Chain A
Amino acid sequence: MSQAIVFGVLAAIVLGFGLAMVLSKNLVHSAIYMAVTFIGVAGIYLNLSAGFLAAMQILVYVGAISVLMVFGVMLTRRGDIAASNIFNRYKLTGGLMALALFVILGRLIFTSSWNLSSFAVPEDTVSLIADLMMTDFVIPFETAALLLLVALVGAIMVAKGVKNTR
């Protein structure tokens, strides 16, 4: 019962602030609503007993990506900030498309059948994730490290520009 209340509150936070992020006309407000949505998603992870992922969500999304978004907003804004995040001419079409996708997904969710497992989640998820990452997923792990390095160097080069010294 208490789990249902917690889930309801978290779902209301996630969906409400997600909608507020999309519907807000002010881009800075949108970025702040997005951070709150990410915190709600971290709570959903805790509800699913994925503590490590919840901590990572807070660190990476709330701590890094939201701040990066605010920097992106403030480095590129031009004109009136109160009307910085308006809809384009596809507002109606896009809304109908998103609604149709939600209806289709909901129907698929309720008509599918899954073979649910009755096992409980292990207590110590962190060491299990570490085991998986260092054994079965070691090549994707190293590739992800390489991807991050390339992305960081590439982001600096794209944003700062390369001086042609020849």
Chain B
Amino acid sequence: MITLEHYLLLAAALFSIGLFGAVAKKNAVAVLMGIELMLNSVNINLVAFNRFLMPSQLVGHVFAVFVIVVAAAEVAIGLAIVISIYRDKFSTEVDNLDWLKW
């Protein structure tokens, strides 16, 4: 029998994989991919909680829809910024994007 814990563990593992990709990758596009994995795992959590805790109301589904909307907007803006920086610096490595002074 598949319980809520199984889905939560799957989402936790996927979130950890996405975090690893977002932290340890050189290419900015790969960092965006890791962030997408993390958003997906959060969506699994929302839908699983909705399914097992209150299946009669679909609030978790609506939240997941909004997360998908924000993820789509985020990836469009993120890729636009990456392409704009690439045109300027001819590099997409996040280590090279260090022209903010402090």
Contacts and interface: CB of A to CB of B under 8 A. Distances in A.
Interface string B5-47: 1111110111111111101111101101110110010011001
A119 B19 CA distance: 34
Given A148-B69, A154-B77, A78 B90 contact: yes
Contacts of B59: 132
B40 A114 contact: no
B23 A97 contact: yes
B23 A72 contact: no
A53 B20 contact: no
Interface of B: 1-2, 4-10, 12-21, 23-27, 29-30, 32-34, 36-37, 40, 43-44, 47-48, 50-59, 61-62, 64-66, 68-77, 79-84, 86, 90-95
Task: Label chain B's interface by main secondary structure.
Answer: helix
Task: Label chain A's interface by main secondary structure.
Answer: helix
A27 B86 CA distance: 16
Nearest to B51: A48
Counting chain B CB atoms within 10 Å of each CB, the highest count among A61, A72, A132, A161 belongs to A72
Contact of B84 (A4, A98, A119, A161): A161
Contacts of B7: 44, 48
Nearest to B90: A78
A76 B58 contact: no
